[in-house]
Structure 1
């Protein structure tokens, strides 16, 4: 069992898929999958679950794209895009087309994860009773998190109009094994998809163990719930879920900020004590796409993103987080958080939970005892950054700490701009108002062509 903990998702997936292929070589090449033949045993269910993690780690989803793309759409004032990929240039110019291939792949990868998890859940009865809760919890964690992020990208913000009327993405909860008229599903509303994501993540929180190697555990679900509730403006639940993670003491802040982004040369490093959930990146799994675009050629990247001097000028003197912003060998200012091509993609880490709890309690006007007061939480983050404690704290202080602590990690520039409606000096939406329809992904034209029940987002034409 100890050796199994060292096998990463990509390698596990490859081995399991190979073993699955061996027993299916005699199957006829049908256009649709015979569900009874495809998933017969508990091992088949586990193969499918590992496949869902594998899909989640693809470049256009949690391999980095789902966080890179919203940042490109909203950071014209703090970075320069110098890349040659037209699809990403269009995002930076806030002029996305309906046939943008990266947008298409984000949708496709997301629904592949959802379909894999639906297959797991449809066959949960085949799993041994001792493993059933864990397997169900992992599948619902991945499905809930994916629905949340697809909604943030393809739907309007929760606070932009009526979430019970605004359209998000289709909710599909059963496996798609063949394309029939029943496969054509209309878009659900933002409120409906948030409700589904909350239901999935709440079930995951209840079913998952507290420890689960590098796979999702109960605190992973709590942490994503905290992020979701903050985006939704449900501050009581955001504070509650953040407190669940912090008070568990399972995770600890790294003593040094830079240790969250280890770079012992180009090699994989296990999760840090601060990582609540991370996508494991190895040569078998692929590359960290954040490395591809942020890192210079000095560190295996393309160097397409250049950080503006004005951004680092906004940090306080002596802020240790500035150690992540340095000139490369050509004298170009880079963000060094993603220099390791085999570095994990940090989906959510403990520092964010402190800032969620601080903001949520501050907005609630909650009276909490030390050391859980908003000012204590903010000063915990500032102390690690080598900064003097604040004597009072405001919402703007918290949002500024989010920018300096979490920059370029989670699409927070756009998502925070939307949920705060672009509060001045703390968040960003580039050159557009935060509720501009151009800051919402279009529904891919290929999906509109395939599914007559889908409708396009406002502001986008059709071919």
Structure 2
């Protein structure tokens, strides 16, 4: 009897295991997996377009403004921990507004899947076949770009033995440890070198919204700047400058209204229907032409004072003192207008494309690299060329020393690249402090300075990532 029961139970167990195995093997009918979704060249192009669509440089723009000295709090203030440098690894503002992990590793995973599928993807015709190479170049460029952004958030060191991040070259759900700067950038530079010849040289029309050879040169130049590889910084920035001239003073304001794409070889398309209101980082949309939206952040007094307000075209393109706000009871009447879009109360208010690379940045990269190489004449030539294109009646300067040159270039980066996502990271890579003037303090007792070398120049690895990934290392200064 016992033997019979055992045999029956064994048969039931085998039957159950067999049934479970069969259920596991049944393919879902509503799942479009990678082997189907990326079967054709057209599918893969859609995958690349999806990667572009996920790009969000706005997070970096806001971070660099709020954490540094580009803005002052206006009508509302709910960012005290980040603006006053009190954030921790569990800070809600860091978690909700400044976490680069989900954003960039998600894009990296998408392009890695495209890279895996492309070699065997079906081409419908000769045009598709030719497109295969371009898509590979774009995927490699995007992978390099996203890894560089992760580095700026969580590493930003030129020391080869310091920690960078995990460099993902294949899709994986396995926990990943951080690697050091030297091998990280060996991989990143290899991706860019492989991508560059596969990308188009034409960056006009719709190509400005996709990677081109000029965009690859720009990322190579930016990478070399951060790594302090000065000769490479000169080489790659010169490639971009030769391909994309500086805007004239007449054309410069049109960059920010998207009337033209001067200086720009790569930007991200933004529309009102898809939530592309970059200007809403600083100010809400308006109820009407006269009822201006609430102001969250406005231009700092420090930055306001930096410009030759009568002659510098950047001043009137980036900010204004709004007469409509005078006597309105608002705390500030000054507005950041760099991404203002169309008029108050209109459909495209605060809508503007996100400019990723501009010629002005390349001039400043080359100037800094030349100064570091003690080529003060070359550094002055770049600085003077940029200022002459921006300032009416500008008188060229001579740079007397390397220190004077670097100081002038950093001031120029502050003015030229304001609200483009550079200031905080620039101060970090130059080992300089953030210094706010008294007029820009959010509270009477707020600190004026984040000292050079402070651990908060690097963001904490998010607490959720620490909990999910047992092999990842936290940045110094933070606990979990």
For the criterion TM > 0.5, the same-fold answer is: yes
Decide whether aligned partners of structure 1 residues 274 and 311 sit closer, same or farther in structure 2, where only a CA change above 3 A counts. same
1:365 aligned partner: 374
Q: How does 1:88-237 map to 2 (within 5 A)?
A: 88-99=79-90, 100-102=94-96, 105-125=99-119, 126=121, 128-155=128-155, 157-159=156-158, 162-164=159-161, 166-176=162-172, 179=173, 183-212=174-203, 213-214=207-208, 215-237=210-232
Deviation at 1:103, TM superposition (A): 5.2
CA contact (8 A) 1:251 1:275 kept: no
Distance across 1 between alignment mates of 2:280 and 2:293? 4
1:420 corresponds in structure 2 to: 430
**Structure 2 Cα separation of the partners of residues 425 and 446 of structure 1:** 32
Normalising by structure 1, report the TM-score.
0.80
Conserved? CA contact 1:231–1:415, under 8 Å: no
Matches within 5 A, 1:370-385: 373-385=378-390
C-alpha offsets along residues 392-416 of structure 1, whole Å, 9 cap, x if unaligned?
0322222221111111212x22121
Offset of 1:295 from its aligned partner? 3.5
Paired residues of 2:435 and 2:450 also in contact (CA < 8 A): no
CA distance in structure 2 between the aligned counterparts of 1:363 and 1:392, rounded to whole angstroms: 16
Rounded Cα–Cα distance in structure 2 between residues aligned with 1:416 and 1:247: 25
Deviates more, 1:291-300 or 1:450-459: 291-300
TM-score where L is the length of structure 2: 0.77
Q: Please give the per-residue CA displacement for 1:288-316, whole angstroms capped at 9, x wherever unaligned.
A: 33x11224545986521122333212223
Summarize deviations over 1:47-103 as a string: whole Å, max 9, x none. Answer: 1111110111xxxx32x112221331122xx521347685x4422121223243335
2:433 and 2:451 in contact (8 A); partners too: no
Q: Which residue of 2 aligns with 1:400?
A: 411
Match of 1:292 in 2: 280
Give the whole-Å Cα distance in 2 for the aligned partners of 1:399 and 1:148: 21
Task: Give the distance between the partners of 1:230 and 1:40, measured in 2 at CA.
Answer: 39
- Match of residue 44 from structure 1: 43
Q: Count the aligned residue pairs.
A: 405
Match of 2:360 in 1: 351
Partner of residue 73, structure 1: 67
Deviation (angstroms), 1:206: 2.2
- Name the Cα RMSD after superposition: 2.8
Deviations 1:325-357 (A, max 9, x none): 212332421221011222101111111111111
Greater radius of gyration (CA) = 2
Q: How many Å apart are 1:455 and its aligned residue? A: 2.2
Q: Structure 1 residue 236: deviation in Å?
A: 0.5
The 3 A distance-change label for structure 1 pair 405 and 419 is same
Residue number in structure 2 paired with 1:243: 238
Structure 2 gaps of 5+ residues are 1-26, 327-332, 342-349, 400-404, 437-446
- Offset, 1:146: 1.0
Cα distance between partner residues in 2 of 1:367 and 1:208: 34
Q: CA deviation at 1:133?
A: 2.1
User: Residue 15 of structure 1 aligns with which residue?
Assistant: none
